[in-house]
Amino acid sequence: MKRSMLLVLVLFIATAFAFQQKQQPAGLKAAIARGKTVYENACLACHQPDGSGVPNMNPPLIKTKWVLGDKKALTKIVLKGLQGGEIEIDGDKYHNPMPPQESVLNDQEIADVLTYVRNSFGNKASMVTAAEVKALRAKLK
């Protein structure tokens, strides 16, 4: 009885994980791949290849509330930029401005790069879609 219980348990867990895999939103892998290219062209210089940023200047993108939290707030930062000094992580401020990307990147590119960042450097978070970026861009106009 004990053994069969264990077997069922293992089976259930395995099924659950398989379910999880299937649950991955369609196109996540492709979005991450496209987002990586955008990241390399538009973000890497300041935020660095491993997302660790630059102390006191450019904030890290690793497991911070800014990256993993509210998607709209994050998307707004990419569209509209920051003056510098607004981001504080563990008591340290980051002084460089974030250049607004609204005139540089389109909705799909912003969605892809945010999906990439939210699923790289040890991060795991939901996708950002082009429709979400488009809606926010219109709202912020």
Partner 1 sequence: MKKMLILACTALIAATAFGNDTTKRKTPPAGTVQKDEDAPAITLPQGFKSVVVTSGLGKARHLTVAANGDVFVKLEKLKDGKGIIRLHDSNGDGKADETSGFGNYVGTGITIKNGYLYASSNDDVYRYKIDEKSGKVDIASEQKIVTGLVNKNQHNSKSLALDNNGNIYVNIGAPSNCCQVQDRVKGSPGQDPCPILEKAGGIWQFKADKTNQGYEDGVRYATGLRNVVGLDWNTEVNDLYVMQHGRDMLYQFYPELFSQKEGAENPAEELFRVKKGADCGWPYCYWDIDKQQQLQNPEYGGDRKKADRCTDKTKSIVQFPGHLAPNALLFYTGDQFPAKYKNGAFIAFHGSWNRAPEPQAGFFVVFVPFKNGMPDGKWEVFADGFSGFQQGGSTGKAKYRPCGLAQGPDGSLYVSDDNNGTIWKVSYGK
Which positions touch partner 1 (CB under 8 A)?
Answer: 5, 8-9, 12-13, 15-17, 19-20, 23, 40-42, 44-46, 48-50, 52-58, 60, 62-65, 68-69, 81, 83-85, 89-93, 95-97, 99-100, 103-104, 122-126
84: Cβ–Cβ under 8 A, 6 or more apart, which residues? 94, 95, 96, 97, 98
CB-nearer residue toward partner 1: 15 or 37: 15
Q: Please, what is the minimum distance in Å from the beta carbon of residue 55 to partner 1?
A: 6
Nearer Cβ to partner 1, position 27 or 41?
41
Give the per-residue SS3 of the chain.
Answer: CHHHHHHHHHHHHHHHHHHHHHHCCCCHHHHHHHHHHHHHHHCHHHHCCCCCCECCCECCCCCCHHHHCCHHHHHHHHHHCECCCCCEECCEECCCCECCCCCCCCHHHHHHHHHHHHCCCCCCCCCCCHHHHHHHHHHHC
Minimum CB separation of residue 74 from partner 1 in Å reads 12
Minimum distance from residue 92 beta carbon to partner 1 (Å): 5
Least Å distance, CB 68 to partner 1, is: 5
Nearest residue (CB) to partner 1, 92 versus 131: 92
- Shortest distance, CB of residue 17 to partner 1, whole angstroms? 6
Task: With beta carbons less than 8 A apart as the criterion, state whether 92 and 56 touch.
Answer: yes
